[in-house]
Chain A
Amino acid sequence: GAGVSQSPRYKVAKRGQDVALRCDPISGHVSLFWYQQALGQGPEFLTYFQNEAQLDKSGLPSDRFFAERPEGSVSTLKIQRTQQEDSAVYLCASSPLTNEKLFFGSGTQLSVL
């Protein structure tokens, strides 16, 4: 596609619900990253995929967070049993290789009530 596409743009969840956030990277991009951004802060790294392999998940805040990229293209970030502290903007980014220009999607704004 022309750019990184994320859906939904906004998600409101009740505390305890599971949510799934989708990222469709730029076609052919090997590297895919998930970030979390709190209001007024810079993005914070969550996890990194090279093709379908999840090479680092050290930034995931808890075991309620799970990400996958089964065919090396579309990725899903799943949050189980959402908590209020999970409220943030979740950003997906991709790059052709690991050390090239990074392109971001518009993000999913998650609000947990």
Chain B
Amino acid sequence: GIQVEQSPPDLILQEGANSTLRCNFSDSVNNLQWFHQNPWGQLINLFYIPSGTKQNGRLSATTVATERYSLLYISSSQTTDSGVYFCAVGRDSNYQLIWGAGTKLIIKP
């Protein structure tokens, strides 16, 4: 099956810093989503991005499907960005998405 690796596993930054989170996957996919799980456990869908680049405010994501990786950029970090960021990939369907282990981000005030 498809393997998903996220890096780094942990990241501690000061408020205002920028960060890049990476998701590598072992086979071709056409479904890739980034999620943020806040400290209260709510999973929020940030991007559906099987290829290309998208931006939403301070967040942007790029997926290079041919090279089997995706990057999530967070600019001007805020304390509310803290939590775990998951990448999930699959072929076609949300059915049986393969999840990475996540990147735990802590933003210090």
B partners with A = yes
How many A-B contacts if CB must be within 8 Å? 59
- Interface presence of A65 (CB below 8 A): no
Measured in the bound complex, the distance between the Cα atoms of B36 and A104 in whole Å is 11
Nearest neighbor of A89 in chain B, beta-carbon distance: B41
Q: Which residues of B contact A55 (CB under 8 A)?
A: 95
Measured in the bound complex, the distance between the Cα atoms of B46 and A101 in whole Å is 9
A33 touches B100 (CB 8 A): no
B95 touches A98 (CB 8 A): yes
Which one of B20-28, B59-67, B72-80, B86-94 is at the A interface?
B86-94
Nearest neighbor of A42 in chain B, beta-carbon distance: B99
A103 touches B102 (CB 8 A): no
A104 touches B99 (CB 8 A): no
**Contact pick for A42, options B40, B94, B95, B102, CB 8 Å:** B102
B43 touches A98 (CB 8 A): no
Interface string of B21-57 (1 = CB under 8 A from A): 0000000001101010000111111001000000000
Measured in the bound complex, the distance between the Cα atoms of B31 and A6 in whole Å is 25
Measured in the bound complex, the distance between the Cα atoms of B43 and A106 in whole Å is 7
Would A102 and B93 be within 8 Å (CB), given that A42-B86, A107-B41 are in contact?
no
A102 touches B86 (CB 8 A): no
B95 touches A43 (CB 8 A): no
Q: How far is the CB of A21 from chain B (nearest CB, A)?
A: 15
Measured in the bound complex, the distance between the Cα atoms of B31 and A13 in whole Å is 37
Q: Which residues of A contact B102 (CB under 8 A)?
A: 42
Interface string of A27-48 (1 = CB under 8 A from B): 0000101000000011111001
A42 touches B100 (CB 8 A): yes
Measured in the bound complex, the distance between the Cα atoms of B96 and A99 in whole Å is 11
